[in-house]
A and B are shown apart, each in its own frame.
Chain A
Amino acid sequence: MTQHLPVLQVVIPLVLAPLCVLVRHPRAAWALAALGSLCAFGIALDIVSTVLASGPLSYDVGDWAPPWGIEYRIDAVNAWILVIVSLVSTAVVFFARASVEREVEASRVALFYAAYLLCLSGLLGIAATGDVFNVFVFLEISSLSAYALIALGQDRRALAAAFRYLIMGSVGATFIVIGIGLMYATTGTLNMADLADRLPGVWHVRTIKVAYGFLAVGCFLKLALFPLHLWLPNAYTFAPSAVTAFMAATATKVAVYMLLRFFFTIFGAAFSFDVMNLDMVLMPLAVAAIFSMSFVAILQTNVKRLLAYSSVAQIGYMILGISFASVTGLTAAVLHLFNHALMKGALFMALGCVAYRIGSVHIDAMAGLGKRMPATMAAFVVGGLSLVGVPLTVGFVSKWYLILAALERGWWPLAVIVLITSVMALAYVWRVIEAAYFREFPGDRETREAPAALLVPTWALVVLNVYFGIDATRTVGVAERAAEILMGAAP
């Protein structure tokens, strides 16, 4: 049984998804989704402890030996991603029960959970697999269900946003297939480990460089790297609250993982940085993303959209960390994958609580909520401070490593940029805090605290934000290990 865990992780949600459609009953469908998420989370925890204790796991799907069959290969990097995705999914699924009932028509709730499970399965699949074509398949499974999930938003703009995401997402995925095809044409293999062995022999071939370019652009599209982020703000703004929390915390993270896998494990850091000069591409884009999107976020009045722009900026931090091409930089990036998932998950869920009670997440509508919904707004404040990078929250830990990585390379202007944009983050978070705590609540409305069903999952993530901010030994340990693996310094 235990040797099948790597594949069960992906298969359980995949099998439960059609069951959701069959049972039709909203609560039953929710129970299945919760079961799927919990199973995935439990397995992910088990896998990560195994991997950390005794090295990478390898699983041959259908007993076909690699490189002919599909191999699931899990090392510290993707074990970590599995934990992030399944952890957030579990928190969100408990949050979703009440939130989705409010925001999605009863007849569609079962379908919602089916799509949710498919999306989860896809994301886990991308992380678990060791076969590049399999990556594409799971990418499309997760993307297609994501389009459907976003389109379930109440506003009709959700439809337009989903369509735009579909077009840009499909282009991105197709670029990735092209890249994979060109790699296959040159090396004759699809297995990641095999590719990593064979690619150094064909570095000089132009086809490989073209493949690299296609993969890069495809990944940039999926992870919403500025300026290819245009699909993201509207998609996050108009999707149901639970979907936004889930997507913001997982989808872009998995895309970043994909980038790491392709460019570090498969092509290798040496090829990426010495031959392709990846750092010279990533760094300007990351800086542009951080600066411009933080600035745009300050101007927003819809808090959900504000956080969506902030997400694009935060992705910039991860990419910046990657562009340092050092173990410290990659540690910062991998840490921020996890930390950003925690903070954005908590923040979007707090916003979901607000939407549940007052039906709007406009900054003016949130005036005076500090007194009316103290627990919700306190969660928002802690999440916001984490986003800014206040010490003793996870945000500080990732910023710290990012700054150290910049100083290590002697690129201190980048450290300054990281710090200045932290102040910008403070500005946009502060706008919300000021509205909630220092403006009067409009007297004509009755508003109570959000129900415990929403608050408990939200606070679970908030507590993790603080816990891993006070004791980051474990997260930093895993991130460093992952960074060493990616840089080729450790097996």
Chain B
Amino acid sequence: MSWAQSAFPWIGHVVANYNYWIVIVLMMTGFYVLISRGNLIKKLVGLNVFQTSVFLMYITMGKITGGTAPILGSHGEPVPGVLYSNPLPHVLILTAIVVGVATTSVGLALAVRIKEAYGTVEEDEINALDAEADS
């Protein structure tokens, strides 16, 4: 690896932060699906992937190299010499996950209602039906 690092110094940077690359790839995948697909269910799938990337970002952010789970000693004091990971981002993202689940369920419920009302979950067909109703 050393020759590669000296020839392409950015590679080390990329490898060291690989978690963010995963986040970015996931984020863009989800975002692309969300924008490009006309099927409402697929849009929701895209939205989920998109949100998941953010969950990952938060979770990996709290990790400290060599850190362990933040459990206090028997008297409620930090154990000396032990490196703890940051628990706060994990707790935060638990909330965000719940929000994500709620969003998905509302979205799916709406999709069901749309299917009942329009007979389709394809965006272009829905738009066509609406345009018909307008004219």
The answer to whether any beta carbons of A and B sit under 8 Å apart in the complex is: yes
Task: Find the B residue at minimum CB distance from A156.
Answer: B117
Q: Mark B23-46, 1 if CB is under 8 A from A, else 0.
A: 000000001001000001001000
Residues on the B chain within 8 Å of A140, using CB = 99, 102-103
Q: A163 and B114: CB pair below 8 A? A: yes
Could you tell me the distance in whole angstroms from the C-beta of A453 to the nearest C-beta in chain B?
30
Residues on the A chain within 8 Å of B89, using CB = 181, 184
Kindly state the separation between the CA atoms of A144 and B103 in the bound complex, as whole angstroms.
Answer: 7
* Besides A137-B99, A156-B118, A171-B31, 15 other A-B contacts (C-beta < 8 A): A137-B95, A147-B106, A151-B110, A156-B117, A163-B111, A166-B103, A167-B43, A167-B107, A170-B103, A171-B34, A174-B51, A177-B96, A178-B54, A181-B61, A184-B61
Residues on the A chain within 8 Å of B95, using CB = 133, 137
Out of A163, A177, A184, A185, name the residue touching B110 (CB < 8 Å): A163
Interface size on B, residues (CB 8 A): 29
Top 7 A-B residue pairs of the complex, sorted by shortest distance between their CB atoms: A156-B117, A140-B99, A163-B110, A159-B114, A159-B113, A185-B61, A170-B103
Kindly state the separation between the CA atoms of A89 and B114 in the bound complex, as whole angstroms.
Answer: 29
B16 at the interface (CB under 8 A from A): no
Q: Mark A160-191, 1 if CB is under 8 A from B, else 0.
A: 10110011001101100110010011000010
Out of A160, A170, A178, A185, name the residue touching B126 (CB < 8 Å): A160
Residues on the A chain within 8 Å of B92, using CB = 133, 190
The 25 listed contacts between A and B (C-beta, < 8 Å) are A136-B96, A136-B99, A137-B95, A140-B99, A144-B103, A156-B114, A157-B130, A159-B110, A159-B113, A159-B117, A159-B118, A160-B114, A162-B110, A163-B110, A167-B47, A170-B51, A170-B103, A177-B54, A177-B96, A178-B54, A178-B57, A181-B54, A181-B57, A184-B61, A185-B61
A148 at the interface (CB under 8 A from B): yes
Size category of the A interface is 20 to 34
Interface of B is mostly: helix
Instruction: Identify the A interface with B (CB < 8 A).
Output: 133, 136-137, 140, 144, 147-148, 151, 156-157, 159-160, 162-163, 166-167, 170-171, 173-174, 177-178, 181, 184-185, 190
Residues on the B chain within 8 Å of A184, using CB = 61, 89
Out of A137, A151, A190, name the residue touching B113 (CB < 8 Å): A151
Q: Mark B43-71, 1 if CB is under 8 A from A, else 0.
A: 10001001100100110010000000000
Residues on the B chain within 8 Å of A171, using CB = 31, 34, 47, 50
Kindly state the separation between the CA atoms of A171 and B92 in the bound complex, as whole angstroms.
Answer: 18
Out of A133, A156, A160, A163, name the residue touching B107 (CB < 8 Å): A163
Q: B117 and A166: CB pair below 8 A? A: no
B15 at the interface (CB under 8 A from A): no
Q: Max chain B CB contacts within 10 Å: which of A144, A148, A159, A190?
A: A159
Residues on the B chain within 8 Å of A157, using CB = 130, 133
Residues on the A chain within 8 Å of B118, using CB = 156, 159-160
Could you tell me the distance in whole angstroms from the C-beta of A387 to the nearest C-beta in chain B?
25
Residues on the B chain within 8 Å of A166, using CB = 103, 106-107, 110
Task: Find the B residue at minimum CB distance from A177.
Answer: B54
Given A151-B113, A159-B117, decide whether A174 and B50 contact each other with a Cβ distance below 8 A.
yes
Kindly state the separation between the CA atoms of A442 and B40 in the bound complex, as whole angstroms.
Answer: 42
Residues on the B chain within 8 Å of A170, using CB = 47, 51, 103, 107
